[in-house]
Structure formats: structure tokens, C-alpha cells
């Protein structure tokens, strides 16, 4: 039988000094979190008014977060007793150590936290660029996602970074994404995945961009992609359509797959809602012309 949250708290990296009162905490440079066992009300009532269920523990663990110690904790939701916790810093350090062990320098990191500090996205740009005549310098990226509320499993995705109008645009593939079960097994798996991606990136990224540049998207297919984005909000569709008009030369006819991809990713780079950012990236990925070898490697990383 699977152990409940309190029984697994210490091995998951939570501080258990308050376990006697159902309190488990964790903090790092990104945020602070407290998990508390939730009980039924009411506790302080007269004996004759008590019900047998009053003060009983529930299978739910309350979540309280804050960015720093200078701010009060806020209740932001709950998880079940079987939630699997992994700290943001623990996950990021594991990926950094794997990158370092491969021997490739990291250029920079960009961390995005959700408003309630239950979600994190860390974009680690690796200093190993490929130059493309039309797209400029393209750098490989590892994108770490984690959540403290069970809405998303811990994942490590592979992607790319590029400059556009003096701004850095970052994209993460959903294909090839490693989920928590693989991340936690050993750093060897992460290191092997990084090595595989770096090889396929250097060998195939230029082919992917060229193929996407040379692939004209039909009007029906373009409208289908925009209709998907319309489901996420009309303003987003209109903004992406405006970006596409800026990217596509006047009178050039139908856009290429790369132009549509670039317009969506350019917009998604400013999106602060992490769920929405991922959905937009999925829409952008759907138009890419991914070389067979690259697809095979990413698919293998995802399913291994």
C-alpha cells in the first residue's frame, strides 16, 4: 500500500520539524511553501454539540506559499495525500549538474514563477549555438517545469532560443519531454538525454528551420492553427495575427511554417500564464517541419 504524504515527507525533502501538528515545509531561492494536514471543523465546540467527524483528518493537504520570508503565507489550494513533491531547487540542481557533467557551458537562466508560487518554469540556455542564414544564431535550451499543487508533473523539455528584434525568444518542444518518473530515477538518464539532444540539435536544427522556411502553409491549415489559438482568447489570436503580418513580407502570399511558428513563439515569450505558454508552444510545434532523425530521437527520449 502506498505511503501517505506525512510518511513520505522527509524522503521528499520537506522539513518535518512540525510534523506533530501536520506541518511540512520547504524553502529555496525561488519561494517558500508549507503543506498542512486539513481537518474537518469544528474543533473548539461544546461537547454536547460535537459530531464524531469534528476534527477528523481529511485526505487533503493544504498549500500555503510566499515568495520570501518578508511576506505572509497565503492559502493557494490543496493536494491529495498521495501527492509526490520535488523541490524547485532540487530539480534545477539535478539538471544543472547533468549539463555540467556533459561539459557544455550554460549561458544564462530565466526563471518564471506563477502568481501563487506553485508553478515554476526555468529556461536554461546552453552555450552551443548553430547559425542559420535566415534565422541567425540558434541555441539549445533545457526548460524545467515543476508544480507544488499537482497540476503538472515535474518535467524537463528540450528547445531552442533565438534573437528576434533584439529580444530573446525561447521555445520548448512537447515532443521529447522527460517526466518526473525519469527525472527522479538517476542523473544518468538526464545526462544521456542531454547528450542525445545536443547531438541531434547540432546535426538537424538547421534542416528543421530550412524545411520550415520552405514549407508554405495552406490557408486552411493556417486558419486551423489560428482557430486553436482563438480558443485561448480572441485577443491572443489577434495579437499573433498582427505579429505574423509584421514577420511576413508584404505581398509574399501565404506564410511559411517558420513564420507562423515564429509569430506564435514570439507572442508566447511574453505570456506569464505558464499553462497558456505551454498551450501556445504546442500550437507552434504543430506547424514545424521536424526532420525524421530529430523526431525519432525526441520521441525516444519521451518514451524511454
pLDDT in tens, 124-158: 999 888 889 888 899 999 999 999 999 988 899 99
pLDDT tens digits for 283-299? 999 999 999 999 999 98
All three cell numbers of 136, joined, read: 541567425
Q: Give pLDDT, residue 218.
A: 87
Percent of the chain with pLDDT over 90: 63
Asked if residue 273 is part of any domain, the answer here is no
Task: Please provide the size of the chain in residues.
Answer: 304
Asked if residue 294 is part of any domain, the answer here is no
Q: Give pLDDT, residue 267.
A: 92
| Residue 123 sits in the same domain as residue 176 | yes
Q: Is the pLDDT of residue 264 over 80?
A: yes
The dihedral built from the CA positions of residue 220, 246, 134 and 251, taken in this order, carries a sign that is: positive
| Residue 99 sits in the same domain as residue 194 | yes
Q: Please name which of 130, 157, 182, 108 lies closest in space to residue 277, comparing C-alpha atoms.
A: 157
Segment 102-120 shows an average pLDDT of 94
| Residue 71 sits in the same domain as residue 93 | no
Percent of the chain with pLDDT over 70: 96
| Residue 142 sits in the same domain as residue 120 | yes
| Residue 128 sits in the same domain as residue 197 | yes
Q: Among 207, 242, 258, where does a domain finish?
A: 207
Residue 68: how many CA atoms within 13 Å on its side-chain side?
2
| Residue 101 sits in the same domain as residue 161 | yes
Asked if residue 41 is part of any domain, the answer here is yes
Asked if residue 16 is part of any domain, the answer here is yes
Q: Give pLDDT, residue 144.
A: 95
| Residue 102 sits in the same domain as residue 193 | yes
Residue with cell 509584421: 246
Asked if residue 241 is part of any domain, the answer here is no
Asked if residue 9 is part of any domain, the answer here is yes
Rounded to 5°, angle at Cα 136 from 132 and 137: 90
| Residue 103 sits in the same domain as residue 181 | yes
Residue 64: give the domain boundaries.
5-80
Asked if residue 286 is part of any domain, the answer here is no
* Torsion angles phi and psi, residue 269, rounded to 5: -65, -20
pLDDT tens digits for 237-250? 899 999 998 888 76
Asked if residue 178 is part of any domain, the answer here is yes
Query: pLDDT grade, residue 114 (50/70/90)?
Result: very high
Q: What is the pTM (predicted TM-score) of this model? A: 0.90
Task: Give dist(CA 225, CA 233) in Å, integer.
Answer: 13
Provide the number of structural domains found in the chain.
2
Query: pLDDT grade, residue 272 (50/70/90)?
Result: confident
Give CA separation, 202 vs 12, 182, 196, 235, in Å. Answer: 36, 24, 10, 36
Q: Give pLDDT, residue 53.
A: 83
Task: Give dist(CA 199, CA 203) in Å, integer.
Answer: 6
Q: Is the pLDDT of residue 271 over 80?
A: yes
pLDDT tens digits for 5-50? 999 999 999 999 999 999 999 999 999 999 999 988 876 777 777 8
| Residue 136 sits in the same domain as residue 169 | yes
* Torsion angles phi and psi, residue 272, rounded to 5: -90, -20
Q: Among 187, 207, 227, where does a domain finish?
A: 207
Q: Among 165, 191, 207, where does a domain finish?
A: 207
Q: Give pLDDT, residue 106.
A: 92
pLDDT tens digits for 148-187? 999 988 899 999 999 877 778 999 999 988 886 556 656 7
| Residue 100 sits in the same domain as residue 189 | yes
Q: What is the mean pLDDT of the chain?
A: 90
Helix (H) or strand (E) holding 131: strand 130-132
Q: Is the pLDDT of residue 263 over 60?
A: yes
Amino acid at each position: 500500500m502506498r505511503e501517505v504524504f506525512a510518511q513520505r515527507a522527509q524522503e521528499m525533502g520537506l522539513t518535518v520539524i512540525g510534523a506533530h501538528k501536520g506541518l511540512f515545509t520547504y524553502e529555496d531561492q525561488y519561494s517558500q511553501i508549507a503543506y498542512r494536514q486539513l481537518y474537518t471543523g469544528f474543533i473548539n465546540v461544546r461537547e454536547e454539540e460535537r459530531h464524531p467527524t469534528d476534527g477528523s483528518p481529511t485526505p487533503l493537504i493544504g498549500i500555503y506559499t510566499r515568495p520570501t520570508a518578508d511576506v505572509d503565507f497565503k492559502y493557494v489550494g490543496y493536494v491529495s495525500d498521495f501527492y509526490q513533491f520535488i523541490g524547485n531547487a532540487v530539480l534545477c540542481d539535478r539538471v544543472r549538474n547533468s549539463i555540467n557533467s556533459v561539459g557544455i557551458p550554460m549561458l544564462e537562466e530565466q526563471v518564471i514563477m506563477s502568481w501563487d508560487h506553485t508553478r515554476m518554469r526555468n529556461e536554461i540556455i546552453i552555450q552551443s549555438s548553430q547559425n542559420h542564414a535566415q534565422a541567425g544564431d540558434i541555441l539549445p535550451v533545457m526548460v524545467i517545469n515543476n508544480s507544488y499543487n499537482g497540476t503538472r508533473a515535474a518535467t524537463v523539455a528540450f528547445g531552442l532560443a533565438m534573437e528576434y528584434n533584439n529580444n530573446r525568444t525561447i521555445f520548448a518542444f512537447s515532443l521529447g519531454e522527460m517526466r518526473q518518473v525519469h527525472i527522479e530515477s538517476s542523473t544518468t538518464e538526464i545526462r544521456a538525454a542531454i547528450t542525445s539532444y545536443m547531438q541531434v540539435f547540432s546535426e538537424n536544427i538547421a534542416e528543421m528551420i530550412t524545411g520550415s522556411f520552405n514549407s508554405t502553409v495552406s490557408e486552411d491549415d493556417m486558419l486551423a492553427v489560428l482557430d486553436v489559438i482563438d480558443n485561448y482568447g480572441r485577443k491572443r489570436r489577434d495579437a499573433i495575427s498582427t505579429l505574423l503580418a509584421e514577420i511576413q513580407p508584404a505581398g509574399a502570399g501565404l506564410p511559411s511554417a517558420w513564420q507562423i511558428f515564429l509569430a506564435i513563439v514570439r507572442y508566447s515569450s511574453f505570456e506569464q500564464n505558464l499553462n497558456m505558454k505551454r498551450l501556445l508552444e504546442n500550437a507552434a510545434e504543430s506547424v514545424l517541419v521536424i526532420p525524421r532523425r530529430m523526431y525519432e530521437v525526441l520521441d525516444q527520449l519521451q518514451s524511454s
